[in-house]
Amino acid sequence: GNAGGGAGSVVWCGSTLKTSVPAIVGLAFAAALGAVVLFLTMGNAGGKVPGPAQLQVLARVATAGASTAGAEKATFAAGCFWSVELAFQRLPGVSKTQVGYIAGTTPSPTYEQVSSGSSGHTEAVEIQFDPASLSYRDLVQVFFEIHDPTTLNRQGNDRGTQYRSGIYTHSEEQAKVAEEEKANTQKALGKTVATEIKPATTFYAAEAYHQQYLAKGGQCSRTGTKDNIKCYG
């Protein structure tokens, strides 16, 4: 997580709407552009606008709760885990998310240890999803869309190894899909993608106050929500 300003955030759950002039302008701009990708609105400068992959998944009709029978697991690191979790919480087919730490060396690290870089972990989100309604490839495509995978150990103003881009796979098939989508993203961007792809190691759940942080703060986590996501503390 990080601590930035909350200006420009949008929350629209049910009949509740909280917004600001910058948010309204941003949404109008996105609507006018239509299919043009507002790709990589990074850091704390403004809300992250859903891109094409997210919009395609969000447009699907949500079932009455994603099935947990035959559920699979996916783990991604894409900078501040607060906003990353909220993006995945909203996807139809996702039944559970939790933020935590992975790919480090210190057992049961604290947030302070991870933030200092001493534990070697990265902030990550572990996702439980129903592969019958949401494919792993869908998740990987959304992952590459919601952050800048070309910056090493940095997302916007957040710097450090704890903010590195990573995909931590739970099967050989996941690793194959991750490598394919990494290559596709690199080709599309015309830049080297810094995302590390490794077999998942022990995932340590973060402290309770980090879990669903932005949803608790008022940003809508309802399945299918397309509102901008603002990462703030």
* pLDDT above 70: residue 21: no
Torsion of CA 83, 174, 148, 208, to 10 degrees: 20
Residue 12: is it exposed, middle or buried by C-beta count within 10 angstroms (0-12/13-18/19+)? Answer: middle
Q: What are phi and psi of 135, to 5 degrees?
A: -85, 160
Catalogue the active-site residues.
Answer: 80
Which parts of the chain are beta strand (E)? 11-13, 16-18, 72-78, 94-102, 122-129, 154-155, 158-159, 165-169, 196-199, 204-205
Q: Give the least confident one: 56-65, 103-112, 171-180, 195-204.
A: 56-65
Quick one: pLDDT at residue 29?
A: 39
CB 38 within 8 A of CB 28: no
Distance (Å, whole) CA 86 – CA 91: 9
Distance (Å, whole) CA 17 – CA 4: 21
Quick one: pLDDT at residue 157?
A: 87
Q: Is 128 helix (H, G, I), strand (E, B) or coil?
A: strand
Q: Is 66 helix (H, G, I), strand (E, B) or coil?
A: coil
Task: Enter the tokens of residue 194.
Answer: 């810094």
Q: Enter the DSSP assignment of 190.
A: T
Quick one: pLDDT at residue 210?
A: 95
Burial pattern 163-190, b for ≥16 Cβ within 10 A else e, equals bbbbbbbeeeebbebbeebbeebbeeee
Greater model confidence, 40 or 129: 129
Compute the average pLDDT of residues 137-159.
94
Task: Enter the tokens of residue 214.
Answer: 């932005």
Q: What are phi and psi of 104, to 5 degrees?
A: -125, -165
Q: For residue 12, what are the contacts with CB-CB under 8 A and spacing of at least 6?
A: 18, 19, 220, 225, 227
- Tens-digit pLDDT profile for residues 50-85: 778 777 777 765 554 555 668 899 999 999 999 999
